[in-house]
Structure 1
Amino acid sequence: MLAVLLEKQFTVPDTYPLSLNALTSGCNQKTARSPVMNATEAEILMAIDGLKHLSLVMESSGSRVPRFEHNMNRVFSIPSQSAALLGTLLLRGPQTAAELRLNAARLHSFADTSSVEVFLEELAAHNPPRVVKLPRTPGERESRWMHLLCGEVNLNVVPERGTVEDAISPAEFEALKAEQKALAHKVSQLQALLEHMAGELGISIDKDTL
């Protein structure tokens, strides 16, 4: 839930802080989540109460509908880059530095994988440590990282690569197909326009190079 507040702060800033209904929807989101949850509003409220006691979540005043926001950066004494990585690990489970750079892009744009590793190492050296580098398993080229906000990691229950449920939904797939079709149409229009302009200027264009 804490990571959902962090995520929505960047992805839907117009509706942040979040209402209970929006927060529940974010927690039960089916994509970009591991594990996928099915929490009730009552369960979310219980979690909010616990996080309030830790000052990690605050309730905004001045609104008819209660709204909630995170206080992760200040409580954990970490910069926004580290918060982005920590939130992504909370939302998606163990990941390599390269995967974290890709998956955290909406929260922070890292220049390269090396910069991600720098902040991960800082989180690992934090007192107490916030993340841990997992032992590389057979078949893996890179080690994955895991957050420690829920305590020590039990290596026997760390999900294997490929088990994270992050597939594209049918609706998203159809949207991508429609976007690809629209882009192809625009390219075709631009090509025709370019050929027309070249003809007007008396310039010969090799269509195979367009």
Structure 2
Amino acid sequence: MHDADSSTTDAAFDLDPIELRVLGVLIEKSFITPDNYPLSVNALLGGCNQLTGREPVMELGEEAVQGALDSLLARRLVSRRDQAGARVAKYEHLIRLRHSLPPAEQAVLATLLLRGAQTAGEVRSRCERMHRFGDIAEVEAVLEHLAEKYPPMAVALPRAPGTKETRWAHLLGGEPVLSALASEGAADPAPAARGRLAELEDEVRRLRQEIDWLRGEFDKFRAQFD
């Protein structure tokens, strides 16, 4: 779940939906409310349960958010800040340090975490409060760099029939195509939809094979230091 510089890392991410939401909110708020950052659990809870800028909308409780924070702390994706004179602990993300992400890449990743699969144009407009891109090509370059990282953090989804633009999804929760299957599927799909389903199933298999290969390569790398 982390980069190869940690002896406790895995070759792929597998954060659950609550961990993904908490991490996305921490990244987002570090940009748009810097004066109130790091965040307390209460502030983080409000960000997780926002009705705008969130897909899907969640109704999380404090216990769930704290549990996600504890897990992210163990993964070293979040750190706790105990500030002098403060009555409550506050938390900040470590994605920049753990995965060498500059601001533009942090903003794009946060947008994917908080809003699901999107086109480059949608990402550009939705992350404007965090980072302003000059054109879509800049966004596409960031997405491609995230896809090339080890482990990969984003992926281009297969283009749906009749669509012109590619949608991108993050990989911090594993293969994102599974959620695409759920959102695009139907109880009695038409032939075109069945063809799309087969394409997505093939993509899932391919991604799983790539992740298995990456795990094997990382195990070989780690064995050099054991």
Q: If the length of structure 2 is used for normalisation, what is the TM-score?
A: 0.68
Q: For residues 9 and 140 of structure 1, what CA distance do their matches in structure 2 show?
A: 34
**Match status 1:83 vs 2:124:** no
**Match status 1:49 vs 2:74:** no
**Match status 1:38 vs 2:59:** yes
Q: For residues 53 and 113 of structure 2, what CA distance do their matches in structure 1 show?
A: 11
The aligned residue for residue 203 of structure 2 is: none
The aligned residue for residue 157 of structure 1 is: 181
Q: How does 1:16-35 map to 2 (within 5 A)?
A: 16-35=37-56
Q: How does 1:47-196 map to 2 (within 5 A)?
A: 47-62=68-83, 63-155=86-178, 156-157=180-181, 159-160=183-184
Deviations 1:8-36 (A, max 9, x none): 11211221111111100100011111111
Which structure is higher in RCO with an 8 Å CA cutoff and minimum separation 6? 2
One-letter code aligned to 1:59: R
Q: Is the 2:26–2:93 contact (alpha carbons within 8 Å) kept by the matching residues of 1?
A: yes
State the 1:140 CA deviation. Answer: 1.9
For structure 1, the 5+ residue unaligned runs are: 161-210
Any idea what SS the aligned residue of 1:157 has? helix
Deviations 1:150-183 (A, max 9, x none): 01123453535xxxxxxxxxxxxxxxxxxxxxxx
RMSD of aligned Cα (Å): 1.3
The aligned residue for residue 26 of structure 2 is: 5
Decide which structure has the larger Cα Rg and report it.
1
The aligned residue for residue 217 of structure 2 is: none
Q: If the length of structure 1 is used for normalisation, what is the TM-score?
A: 0.73
One-letter code aligned to 1:78: L
Q: For residues 25 and 127 of structure 1, what CA distance do their matches in structure 2 show?
A: 32
Give the number of equivalent residue pairs.
160
For structure 2, the 5+ residue unaligned runs are: 1-21, 185-226
Q: For residues 32 and 139 of structure 1, what CA distance do their matches in structure 2 show?
A: 27
Any idea what SS the aligned residue of 1:58 has? strand
One-letter code aligned to 1:93: G
State the 1:74 CA deviation. Answer: 0.9
